Amino acid sequence: MRGAMNYLQRFRIDPGAKVKLKAIDPSFKDGHESHKSAAEEIAHYQEKLRELQELLYAERKYSVLICLQAPDTGGKDGTINHVLGAMNPQGCRVASFKQPTPEELAHDFLWRAHKAAPARGEVVIFNRSHYEDVLVVRVHNLVPKKTWSRRYDLIKAFEKDLLANDTHVLKFYLHISKEEQLKRFKDRLDDPTKHWKISEADYKERGFWDEYAKAYEEALSRCSTEDAPWFVIPANHKWFRNLAIARIVVEHLETLKMEPPKPTVDLARIRKEYHSAANEGRRGRR
């Protein structure tokens, strides 16, 4: 497999680092020429992901929260479909964070995130996340600056509390260029099967590109911690995005050193009963 440095380190934002998105190439491919050249590696990490998630579900010692954030058309749905869809849905679910409901607005901003957090043995993917409350809220002045500026520390405390309860937090920003976003908007217009995805709001939000970039940069800089890191994933090439995220999740799960749980039944007795039943069956066929 390519890459001397593991992806856990390569795309991670170090705590305290000042992020400048313009300095990060959204078209990076790590030496691969095309999807075809990366296909075998993608398949390898998807298979490893299935195996490790099964261990996570069986062991029920840890849980994993995966947060996906991106500009419109950035690929959150595609990531869920092509990468995280490799996992068994019995132990994996998606929580989407759209405009808050009246019930959610009646609580603190982290209430809906805490309610959707994973149980032991479970993987939960946040499609958008609690970070919306320092992103869209900030860009559109939905609450005063003194309100949203306090939320970075509250978010870090929330994630620290999750970790204290054995929930591992991995956060991915899917980094696309403004030009790539425009191309993907055109693809949606040209493809009748994607017309349902088109929203006037998406085009209006594009006018706030620079403001969102600044909001993301501050969130990434202030909230990437040793135990709940942010990863900036080059996402102009969808196939590379899929490879990078699958590999990072695999590399993190491997650090947990998970083992299949010990049986809770008497295997010797069950084997004896099985052999007895098998012998009875053979005698019955004579």
| Assigned domain for 2 exists | no
| Position 1 in a domain | no
Compute the average pLDDT of residues 265-282: 72
**pLDDT tens-digit readout, 135-153:** 999 999 999 999 999 999 9
Domains identified in the chain, total number: 1
- Structure confidence at residue 222 (pLDDT): 97
Given a contact cutoff of 8 angstroms between Cβ atoms, the answer to whether 124 and 57 are in contact is no
User: Model pTM?
Assistant: 0.91
Range of the domain at 76: 7-284
pLDDT band at 271 (very low <50, low <70, confident <90, very high): confident
pLDDT (0 to 100) of residue 69: 98
The whole-number pLDDT of residue 4 equals 53
Average pLDDT over residues 269-286: 69
Nearest C-alpha neighbor of 184 from the set 97, 269, 110, 77: 77
Nearest residue to 248 (alpha-carbon basis) of 182, 186, 169, 189: 169
For position 55, what pLDDT does the model report?
96
Is residue 91 a contact partner of residue 123, using CB atoms and an 8 Å limit?
Answer: yes
CATH of the domain at 250: 3.40.50.300
Tell me if 104 is assigned to some domain.
yes
Give the confidence band of 195 by pLDDT, cuts at 50, 70, 90: confident
Tell me the C-alpha distance between 70 and 128, whole Å.
8
Q: Are 128 and 68 in contact (CB under 8 A)?
A: yes
pLDDT > 70: percent of the chain:
94
pLDDT in tens, 201-254: 777 888 999 999 999 999 999 999 999 999 999 999 999 999 999 999 999 999
